[in-house]
Structure 1
Amino acid sequence: MNFTPLKEFFAGFLRTRHVARHFRRLALLETLVQTGVNREMPPGLTQTLVRAATSDTGALLHRLDSRVEGLSEEQAESVRALVGLNEVEHEKPLPWWMHLWHCYKNPFNLLLTLLAAISYLTEDMKAAVVIGAMVVLSTLLRFWQETKSNQAADELKAMVSNTATVIRPEMSETAAADFGPKDDAHQSARETRRIELPITLLVPGDVIVLSAGDMIPADCRALFAKDLFVAQAAMTGESMPVEKFAVQRDANAINPLELDNILFMGTNVVSGAATAVVLGTGNSTYFGALAARVTTTDRGPTAFQSGVNKVSWLLIRFMFVMAPLVLFINGFTKGDWMQALLFALSVAVGLTPEMLPMIVTSTLAKGAVFLSRKKVIVKRLDAIQNFGAMDVLCTDKTGTLTQDKIFLARHADIWGRESDEVLEMAYLNSYYQTGLKNLLDVAVLEHAELLLELEPARNYRKVDEIPFDFTRRRMSVVVSEREDHHELITKGAVEEILGVCTHVHHDGTVEPLTAELLARIREVTADLNEEGLRVVAVAAKEVPPSKETYGVADESALTLMGYVAFLDPPKESTAPALKALAEHGVSVKVLTGDNERVTAKICREVGLEQKGMLLGGDVERMSDAQLAQAVEANNVFARLTPAHKERIVRLLKANGHVVGFMGDGINDAPALRTADIGISVDTAVDIAKEAADIILLEKSLMVLEEGVLEGRRTFANMLKYIKMTASSNFGNVFSVLVASAFIPFLPMLPMHLLVQNLLYDISQIAIPFDNVDEELLKKPQRWQPADVGRFMVFFGPISSVFDILTFAMMWFVFSANTPEKQTLFQSGWFIVGLLTQTLIVHMIRTPKIPFIQSRAAIPLMVMTAVIMAAGIFLPMGPLAHYFKLQALPPLYFVFLPVILLAYMALTQAMKKFYFRRYGWQ
């Protein structure tokens, strides 16, 4: 049998902290601000930023040895060789020797080292060698695991790493044609080309292009900015986005955070567009200066981490209570306090859940590998278990319930009749905007190229644009054809466009927008919505060519030209995926900025029963208490802003749900960060990918359903180990206490306990690969530490009953009742203890009858058989005297199967009682 996958998977695959650091720059900045880390920058960095802000563009570029056209590839490589990659120091891997130390310095290894030292001082060299070997094996195993994990993490990071749009000189003539007609305004653009570059490759002097949704990849100085708003709350604590400009308005400003034209690494563009030059990268950024002040900063513990911690401390507290009892009972009854101390320490090691971290990491890693085959990249391992616990999935409509392929279905005048003039205006608007081109823009451009023989853009030049933002929900471009006037063309959400229109255009005439016309227009757009079309209004106005810069205030007194209507058909896989999620206890709620009619139609087509719809306006008017009730009663939410989405997710969590959120836009980022599990796609904007825990390479609800099932398998397998460890530890210690009180010698030597513990631990490494009963996958699963304690009390004493029977058998049947025959007694209990402890996982892994109604996976069956055989071989084989054991008489092996079968039967009977009364998670 090939165990290479076993070794590969239990190697951990992903080291949570390592991955989390790379993908959570925003979380680091927020934590630094919230915890009061000193935000003063080194004087040299402050002076550099202030000087860059106040310098004119030519002098700054000269100082950086750059130019407006950007650095050439050769120049960039030379600078990169000097300054290194664009990475802050804490993201770099530890030196191997420091990594090895971190792998060693955990409480369990320190406890074992203390035990080995005591064994050496008491001249018990065999025990010292065995214990020392356990420490070395544990440390090297973890070191190897995490080294492999780091390599895997680097590969995953490369798959989902963010990129920046970088300007390089010497663009080809073919590419230059994409910029439109030859004119002075675009002459510089003709000499450049734009490339997507991983942010780690940026160097000082690179000229980059920014638009809505982009992460700012380094400290930069804006060279050009148009309605540029940057969210830098994590940097300054300001809740509102800050507008940035290409010039520094206050020449006396000395605080870098107040500079108008400096953009900081780790912040993000909310709206607008900019061209900027990179000033500093890596540790030379403000972010790098802050990060250097802390050694590590992680998010607060998730529900998953808290659950694991509570269970671990439950077992450790149990150890701290029971180990001293063993010490005092053996010390007083045997009189050998050094031997009693050694034995108590061995018991402590046996009680220590030393395999818990590895089992948890290995099980999660196995889930990550499984999901990677399903085109899912796991950025944070804990998210896998959160999949299993998730009971509410909030998702956008477009691209999730629908095909993520928008078709331009209609281009019509205000009465719904086909109009090429409206298509031409929509084309000019989409063609000339430089912000975030969404799927609607792509659909307009593709449709117009098929329909029109000559591109209308060839006859126009661009004057200016007013970028899109989520408050206005529209964007405008200003173009000129004959230079005697400028045309402002606006497209956006119907209501927002109607709000700035005063006239309408139809049948070649323009007339005022009256209440009657407005009512009829709304009927036309409502009819289009009922057809499942998403309607975008197009408006325009002519203005004198008196200026070259336009703003939001110019979007007034417009003339409504008509509409472009888009069709996004539902995916064929959506309906079965929603049904599967419902069958597994996950309710789906649709959160969209789209209008209610289109949303309702799509929900009907995919079989999502609408249990109530809430609009953004309703959300705005409700208090938190009212909305907390409304989010339970409704499952469709339309016309939402980003703040609405985040608020709904937050209140669902406050109601006790484990909430997943799936989104890919900048407007989804707040909700992604608020959710228990943020899900995005590889084509999402940078800020959405940064905020997410899971990246899908395929935007499909069916993939999520598989993730939910894998999360539940992961949880069930972790819980098997925890329940089995807790119950067997409780039983073993109870047995030790009984034996210590009534037997005149140690029931088992410290070495026996350690060897038994080592073999038992080895048998558990196959748990991540175990099968899980289908019944355990039907409902969401969460950590319930109180259940672990109850389970321990119910099942632990069962093993003690058979341990005491074994004591009686060895004492009365085999006359192992004197210190001279203690080796025989210890050998008899060694085998029974190891075999019952190894078999318990098969009893606890399922509420069904093991081996008959529910069979473990082959790796676990094989490991169980191997360890049980090793447990019998040690006393019976040639190594027995090394471990201070001895061969047992044949009669012992007549009683052994009876004890094991009786133990399994009693455990099964207790399982039925426990299952009926408390259920089985």
Structure 2
Amino acid sequence: MSFVDHMLKNLFSGFLDRRRANRHFKRQAVLETLRKMGDAEGQAVSGRVARDMRRIASDDVPAAIVRTRSHEEGLTHDEADQRRARFGPNEVEHEKPLPWWLHLWHCYRNPFNLLLTLLAGISFVTDDMKATVVISTMVVLSTLIRFVQEGRSSQAAERLKVMVSNTATVIRRQPDEERGAEASEKHVTARSHARRTATQIELPIRDLVPGDHVVLSAGDMIPADCCLLIAKDLFVSQAAMTGESLPVEKFAGIAQPFNSIFDAPNLVFMGTNVISGSATALVVATGSRTYFGALSARVTTTDRTPTAFQAGVNSVSWLLIRFALVMVPIVLLINGFTKGDWTEAFLFALSVAVGLTPEMLPMIVTSTLAKGAVVMSRKKVIVKRLDAIQNFGAMDVLCTDKTGTLTQDKIALERHTDVFGTNSEDVLRYAYLNSYYQTGLKNLLDHAVLEHAELQGELRVAQDYRKVDEIPFDFVRRRMSVVVAEREDNHELICKGAVEEVLSVCHRIRIETAQGPRQVPIDRELLERVRSVTRELNGEGLRVVAVAMKELSASQAAYSIADEAALTLIGYIAFLDPPKESTAPALRALAEHGVRVKVLTGDSELVAAHVCGRVGLERDHFLLGSQVEKMSDEALSHAVETCQLFARLTPQDKERIVRALRGNGHVVGFMGDGINDAPALRAADIGISVDSGVDIAKEAADIILLEKSLMVLEEGVVEGRKTFSNMLKYLRMTASSNFGNVFSVLVGSAFLPFLPMLPLQLLVQNLLYDISQIAIPFDGVDRELVAKPLKWNPADIGRFMIFFGPISSIFDITTFAVMWHVFGANTVANQTLFQSGWFVVGLLTQTLVVHMIRTPKLPFIESRAAWPLTLMTLVIMAIGVTLPMSPLADYFKLQALPPGYLPWLIAILLGYATLTTAMKTIYIRKFGWQ
């Protein structure tokens, strides 16, 4: 088992064990992490679904049953089977992995491999079998390494998608013959026998069909888009779809006029879950016909936009190919006319074409990215697509949601104040009693009160009280009350709820004075002062809940909404989803590395602005989704540069913002975990999700985090830049040395009576040189090179090639002169000696150049290569020096070089290293060093 396999196996075995140990949590995980879906009616994503659901919402229960061709007691098994055959399974669309043969083809079909295949074919036709074998070896190595590495990564990502099979309670109606047999077996009465019966069974959610009746209770996922037939105290969390932190109450019956389909009280949707209460619901739509599935289908069928990485590699590839297409014909013509042997000239030009082609680029890129993926796996990050590692490094803008990324995704009690905003323990005590004693819906706000740290250590007031009655919460009054007794002769009604709704039943406010608390009537001036305090708290991003109370005699035993009158406002409790401790340091680290963070959220602008302020992000200038929708693409492209916060966004708004940023030339990352994030994940250069995200978000993402942390992203950015720098080393080295070699070939071909190097020798030199570069992925990178975003720049590659290429030609021509004049290799009979001398110099200078250009610093002194690269360099240089004197020398038409050649070789290499280092200083001063 390879190191990569070992790392991924260990990582995923632990991950899957943890998932199996939390089966119940996973039942909720997908839905709880769907963030701020927003109502997208009228949008292309789900307009048809919205229209269908609006029609069903306007029906009463019998009409809804008729519309879905169901029955008041549900479907029979046969009816369900027929519908399943028609509608298909109740599951959203997923991307399917490519078959192995198609994946192999994708790994092969890059421009270099296609060109090399053409050259191998020409070599085969011309009976140059040695060249055919060498070129084919290059193609096979490049393709297989990419195929194997990407296959391992894909298999690892697939394991993340393993989900526990969820079930739903379904009511099945029995046909007459089954009902008769069951009645006979159970000896039921004749009356029972004559009556149709229905049974409840547990079925996998994927087996549900339109017309099914499902039974819902607290904690259940809504398995499809449904219309309620019966509902009792049913509260549903729609945070996945709308971003509302509080659940909404749902009722059976005809819906009153509503704006959003999520406001329809008789509809519930796949992707939400039951908080409390119970219901029986009629399945209206399943699978891709649901609101959830409509957006999912759009995401999975949308082709990906080429990433910055893919576009960059393609542009550099075609730059080098165009260069080869110009230079190779020139080499052919010069050698054909000067030597007179057009066949030999053609084979030599063919070898030059191979030498100009960086055929190992796909392999070097894949190996570098795979190594980066292994490093990231140690940091609890799974790379689905290897290209994404480099995009981490190129990323200069990160768009992220607020909840769970910047914040802890857990509402906390932030303030408890009197009516004028001063801290008050009495308010906290009353709020605690209200939350503790209510038996209805305990929402996130109640849990925040009960879990408050101060309560754990100081307040045990519940032991001193007994509950008398409660007035349950509803979403019309938007408040709830409990009645408690501390003394037998006195009752206290404690009410909490939305500020305006509580104020509407308050006649007095309690003011703290030096003499103690005093109750005063509410007048216009006091009311305005009270509202200014709540506005100030809202401005801090806090959700404000008012607390009021009144004392009553103990003569009353039952209380109703009518008793919520003439209350005294005593203060407020305010809540916040607090930022993570790691958020601010991570944002600073990202900023230091040149990555701007933009917050894209469906939440309120006030809450988002407050959180941004606490973690150090600019919050004064923001855009709302309603403003984004009205903007033209041109106006939006300007706005996205100046704004750092975008609030109340729909999924389409997020996608437009990401595309606008990319259109401005940024490399954009997007981090999200909900279905509403999927379009933006697809549109970004790098999509980032988490293992607790929904399936469709994980499918749209390129990278999956096992830990939702911006600090992990910062580490990924650095690793991506190291990966980019190592790939850039190969490209620069290959481009510059190839250009120098071709220039040297042109000079030698014009003046020598023989070829400066035989085609086979040129191919072997190129293969050895490529092998020496396999260690590049394991090389270290200077800290300065990962400080800023690194982007593909084909123009920079071309400039670098022209600037440094001729340097090697200077020493190649020096070698020509030495071999011609010093060693007398100036005739056709002595061409083997000449070719052997240049073979060694050419290979050693090509191998050495990576140490010159791997760093802007002084090589070997200020910055040294990692030991694998150093070792590989020494091995290939040793092979190059000894090959002409080895038993294989005759096979490659080489010969041993005289001892006097060694001082010249050392002098040429030292001169080459010195001049390259000096020219590098000039280049950095003029163009910089990316």
TM over 0.5: yes
CA contact (8 A) 1:118 1:342 kept: no
Equivalent positions of 1:132-281 (< 5 A) are 132-158=136-162, 166-167=167-168, 202-204=206-208
* C-alpha displacement of 1:307: 1.9
CA contact (8 A) 1:346 1:753 kept: yes
Does the C-alpha gap of structure 1 residues 324 and 85 become closer, same or farther in structure 2, counting only changes over 3 Å?
farther
CA offset digits 1:94-152 (Å, max 9, x no partner):
1x455445544554444444444444444443333333444444444344333333323
CA contact (8 A) 1:425 1:538 kept: no
1:56 pairs, out of 70, 77, 88, with: 70
CA contact (8 A) 1:721 1:764 kept: yes
* C-alpha displacement of 1:374: 1.8
1:797 pairs, out of 797, 806, 810, with: 806
1 CA distance for matches of 2:74 and 2:776?
Answer: 60
1:770 pairs, out of 756, 767, 779, with: 779
Does the C-alpha gap of structure 1 residues 329 and 312 become closer, same or farther in structure 2, counting only changes over 3 Å?
same
CA offset digits 1:675-716 (Å, max 9, x no partner):
554544444566665665444333433323222222221221
Alignment partner, residue 849 of structure 1: 858
Give the alignment's TM-score, normalised by structure 1.
0.69
Does the C-alpha gap of structure 1 residues 518 and 631 become closer, same or farther in structure 2, counting only changes over 3 Å?
farther
2 CA distance for matches of 1:65 and 1:540?
Answer: 55
CA contact (8 A) 2:541 2:611 kept: no
1 CA distance for matches of 2:366 and 2:406?
Answer: 33
The question of 1:700 aligning with 2:704 is answered no
2 CA distance for matches of 1:169 and 1:432?
Answer: 25
The question of 1:827 aligning with 2:802 is answered no
Does the C-alpha gap of structure 1 residues 518 and 790 become closer, same or farther in structure 2, counting only changes over 3 Å?
farther
Alignment partner, residue 797 of structure 2: 788
The question of 1:319 aligning with 2:324 is answered yes
Does the C-alpha gap of structure 1 residues 300 and 641 become closer, same or farther in structure 2, counting only changes over 3 Å?
closer
2 CA distance for matches of 1:657 and 1:346?
Answer: 40
Does the C-alpha gap of structure 1 residues 756 and 204 become closer, same or farther in structure 2, counting only changes over 3 Å?
farther
2 CA distance for matches of 1:279 and 1:398?
Answer: 30
Equivalent positions of 1:705-784 (< 5 A) are 705-784=714-793
2:341 pairs, out of 336, 347, 350, with: 336
The question of 1:816 aligning with 2:825 is answered yes
2 CA distance for matches of 1:827 and 1:817?
Answer: 13
CA contact (8 A) 1:770 1:856 kept: yes
DSSP-derived class of the 1:408 partner: strand
DSSP-derived class of the 1:564 partner: strand
2 CA distance for matches of 1:678 and 1:455?
Answer: 53
CA contact (8 A) 2:432 2:450 kept: no
CA offset digits 1:584-633 (Å, max 9, x no partner):
333455667466599558746x5x3x766125579949967888777666
Amino acid at match of 1:583: E
DSSP-derived class of the 1:566 partner: strand
1:130 pairs, out of 130, 134, 153, with: 134
Alignment partner, residue 373 of structure 2: 368
2 CA distance for matches of 1:809 and 1:830?
Answer: 14
The question of 1:614 aligning with 2:621 is answered yes
With 671-680 and 748-757 compared, the bigger mean Cα shift is at 671-680
CA contact (8 A) 2:369 2:387 kept: yes
1 CA distance for matches of 2:885 and 2:870?
Answer: 23
CA offset digits 1:452-486 (Å, max 9, x no partner):
579999988989879xxxxxxxx9699999xxxxx
With 272-281 and 681-690 compared, the bigger mean Cα shift is at 272-281
The Cα RMSD (Å) is 5.9
CA offset digits 1:752-800 (Å, max 9, x no partner):
2222222222222222221111111222222222111111110011111
DSSP-derived class of the 2:781 partner: coil
DSSP-derived class of the 1:418 partner: helix
DSSP-derived class of the 2:825 partner: coil
2 CA distance for matches of 1:139 and 1:461?
Answer: 71
Amino acid at match of 1:851: F
CA contact (8 A) 1:103 1:142 kept: yes
* C-alpha displacement of 1:725: 1.6
Amino acid at match of 1:359: I
CA offset digits 1:249-288 (Å, max 9, x no partner):
9xxxxxxxxxx99999xx9779999967698779x99999
* C-alpha displacement of 1:423: 5.0
DSSP-derived class of the 2:891 partner: helix
DSSP-derived class of the 2:621 partner: strand
5+ residue gaps in structure 2? 13-33, 35-41, 49-63, 172-196, 242-249, 256-264, 484-492, 511-517, 550-566
Does the C-alpha gap of structure 1 residues 106 and 367 become closer, same or farther in structure 2, counting only changes over 3 Å?
closer
1 CA distance for matches of 2:547 and 2:201?
Answer: 33
DSSP-derived class of the 1:882 partner: coil
5+ residue gaps in structure 1? 15-24, 26-32, 40-49, 68-78, 171-187, 233-243, 250-259, 467-474, 482-486, 542-557
The question of 1:347 aligning with 2:340 is answered no
CA contact (8 A) 1:414 1:505 kept: no
Does the C-alpha gap of structure 1 residues 642 and 324 become closer, same or farther in structure 2, counting only changes over 3 Å?
same
1 CA distance for matches of 2:237 and 2:607?
Answer: 33
2 CA distance for matches of 1:289 and 1:615?
Answer: 30
* C-alpha displacement of 1:841: 1.1
CA offset digits 1:344-390 (Å, max 9, x no partner):
22222222222222322332332232222222333444443333233
2 CA distance for matches of 1:907 and 1:110?
Answer: 33
DSSP-derived class of the 2:382 partner: strand
1 CA distance for matches of 2:350 and 2:520?
Answer: 92
CA contact (8 A) 1:662 1:672 kept: yes
CA offset digits 1:381-415 (Å, max 9, x no partner):
44433332334445555555555554335566756
CA contact (8 A) 1:503 1:513 kept: no
* C-alpha displacement of 1:836: 0.9
With 811-820 and 684-693 compared, the bigger mean Cα shift is at 684-693
Equivalent positions of 1:213-612 (< 5 A) are 298-394=303-399, 399-410=404-415, 417-418=426-427, 422-423=431-432, 432=441, 440=445, 442-444=447-449, 446=451, 498=500, 502-504=504-506, 515-525=524-534, 534-537=542-545, 563-566=572-575, 571-588=580-597, 593=603, 603=613, 608=616
Amino acid at match of 1:796: G
DSSP-derived class of the 1:853 partner: coil
1 CA distance for matches of 2:299 and 2:581?
Answer: 49
CA offset digits 1:19-41 (Å, max 9, x no partner):
xxxxxx9xxxxxxx9999xx9xx
CA contact (8 A) 2:769 2:843 kept: yes
1 CA distance for matches of 2:844 and 2:43?
Answer: 52
1 CA distance for matches of 2:380 and 2:743?
Answer: 48
CA offset digits 1:187-229 (Å, max 9, x no partner):
x9x98999xx9xxx94456999999xx9999x87667799999
Does the C-alpha gap of structure 1 residues 8 and 335 become closer, same or farther in structure 2, counting only changes over 3 Å?
farther
* C-alpha displacement of 1:915: 0.6
CA contact (8 A) 2:417 2:572 kept: yes
Does the C-alpha gap of structure 1 residues 343 and 167 become closer, same or farther in structure 2, counting only changes over 3 Å?
same
CA contact (8 A) 2:93 2:293 kept: yes
CA offset digits 1:784-823 (Å, max 9, x no partner):
2211111111001111111111122222222222222222
With 295-304 and 697-706 compared, the bigger mean Cα shift is at 295-304
CA contact (8 A) 2:329 2:349 kept: yes
DSSP-derived class of the 2:890 partner: helix
CA contact (8 A) 1:430 1:445 kept: no
